[in-house]
């Protein structure tokens, strides 16, 4: 590479990823094939529009790769192409949800989703996000005792507020979602049901987590988490007289973005094919087992694990412990200094600032990709415990 400054940064990042343990729930490692696709000549091609309806010429291969990605996406989740459509052009998670809202709602319409401090995403109606600024957002939390979803409370809120869209999904909620109950609630108030499965689409593809496809009207997902693809997103929608898919396509382009990133779409196509293999099903199941082992080990060491455990790839651990421990920022910083990369996170009933909350969000997907099994995660949690307790002791000694 002629640009030696950039070359060094890229090399340093490669070394950083190799040397460190990654426990960030929204990160993973792609295959060499996907890396090759992302660095391909398709990155040079501007492909405004959709297959067969582009604005520029020279689209023969761009059309082929986008149609292939769509075909594989439907096949992976067992969907009939006459009943479901999929858009693979959305650039990432926030743009994909933006497209759905802009396609199907008017400014001021009501959306109902999980609150950020309960495990929801910014785009599910948080006040600092466009989703909470341009739409009327109703936010539900979790039961204060079980720290799990209370469907009766959600039903009451839905009946009272009558949202146009109910968002079922999360970014930091460790338990299974009962998609059927959400469908029943949506039907009671005449709402569309949007399932945001960004964190769990890989688990669903690998048959390690229940699928929302029999129940939801629209399903959105990023492609770079457990699904183990490049950064990107997909929007699935039912094909019926409501024309959801047509409205969503128009919202993605030309409503919100221009030409899609065709090199990333090529990488998505490869990731979808990889996820159809028997090995991927084994991987998805191991991801959940590894996360559950982490949760159990933390509990045995005296930490409060939110909701008592996990059914997915992620868990939330309270490291603040009512002031007896570390803040999330302190814990994440000292762990990174010791080669373990995590992210700070709020916990249900959070009393601290989101910039320095009480908890950590941990995920098992990335290190499972590297071949870790239960014993490796147990050792890692025990190491984390020693690091955190040593830091607490160091801080206490400084304060004396």
Q: Is 169 exposed, middle or buried (0-12, 13-18, 19+ CB in 10 A)?
A: buried
| Catalytic (active site) residue 46 | yes
Catalytic residue flag (residue 231): yes
C-alpha neighbours within 13 Å on the C-beta side of residue 202: 37
Q: Which of 29, 33, 35, 46 is an active site residue?
A: 46
Q: Among 27, 35, 48, 71, which one carries the catalytic annotation?
A: 48
Q: List the catalytic residue out of 66, 147, 196, 391.
A: 196
Q: Which residue has the tokens 């959105």?
A: 220
Out of 231, 247, 250, 352, which one is annotated catalytic?
A: 231
Tell me how crowded residue 213 is: count the other CB atoms within 10 A of its CB.
18
Give CA–CA dist 309/174, Å, rounded. 7
CA distance 179 to 177: 6
370's tokens:
């590297």
- 222: annotated active-site residue: yes
Does 196 participate in catalysis according to the annotation? yes
Structure tokens at 60: 């023969």
**Contact assessment for residue 22 and residue 339, using Cβ atoms and an 8 Å cutoff:** no
Catalytic residue from among 54, 225, 228, 304: 225
Please identify which of the residues 171, 222, 327, 369 carries the catalytic annotation. Answer: 222
Active-site residue, 147 included: no
Task: Give catalytic residue positions.
Answer: 46, 48, 196, 222, 225, 231
């Amino acid at each position: 590479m002629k640009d030696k400054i950039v070359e060094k940064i890229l090399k340093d990042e490669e070394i950083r990823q190799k040397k460190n343990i990654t426990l960030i729930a929204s990160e993973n490692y792609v295959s060499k094939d996907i890396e090759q696709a992302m660095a391909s000549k398709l990155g040079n091609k501007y492909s405004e529009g959709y297959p067969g309806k582009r604005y520029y010429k020279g689209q023969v291969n761009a059309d082929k790769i986008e149609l292939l990605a769509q075909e594989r996406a439907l096949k992976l989740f067992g969907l009939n192409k006459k009943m479901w459509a999929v858009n693979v052009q959305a650039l990432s998670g926030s743009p994909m949800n933006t497209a759905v809202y802009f396609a199907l709602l008017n400014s001021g319409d009501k959306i109902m989703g999980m609150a950020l401090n309960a495990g929801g995403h910014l785009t599910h109606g948080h006040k600092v996000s466009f989703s909470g600024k341009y739409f009327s957002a109703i936010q539900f939390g979790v039961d204060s005792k079980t720290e799990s979803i209370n469907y009766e409370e959600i039903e009451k809120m839905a009946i009272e507020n009558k949202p146009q869209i109910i968002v079922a999904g999360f970014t930091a909620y460790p338990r299974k979602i009962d998609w059927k109950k959400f469908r029943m609630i949506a039907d009671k108030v005449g709402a569309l049901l949007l399932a945001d499965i960004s964190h769990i689409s890989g688990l669903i593809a690998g048959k390690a987590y229940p699928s929302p496809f029999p129940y939801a009207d629209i399903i959105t997902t990023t492609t770079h988490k457990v699904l183990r693809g490049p950064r990107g997103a997909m929007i699935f929608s039912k094909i019926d007289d409501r024309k959801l898919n047509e409205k969503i396509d128009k919202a993605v382009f030309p409503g919100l973005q221009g030409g899609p990133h065709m090199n990333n779409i090529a990488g998505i196509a490869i990731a979808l094919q990889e996820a159809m293999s028997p090995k991927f099903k084994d991987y998805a199941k191991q991801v959940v087992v590894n996360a559950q082992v982490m949760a159990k080990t933390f509990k045995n060491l005296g930490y409060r694990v939110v909701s008592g455990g996990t059914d997915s790839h992620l868990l939330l651990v309270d490291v603040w412990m009512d002031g007896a421990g570390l803040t999330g920022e302190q814990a994440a910083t000292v762990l990174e200094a010791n080669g373990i990369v995590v992210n700070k996170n709020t916990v249900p009933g959070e009393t601290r600032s989101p910039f320095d909350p009480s908890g950590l969000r941990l995920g098992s997907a990335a290190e499972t990709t590297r071949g870790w099994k239960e014993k490796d995660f147990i050792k890692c949690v025990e190491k984390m415990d020693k690091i955190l307790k040593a830091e607490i002791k160091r801080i206490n000694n400084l304060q004396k």
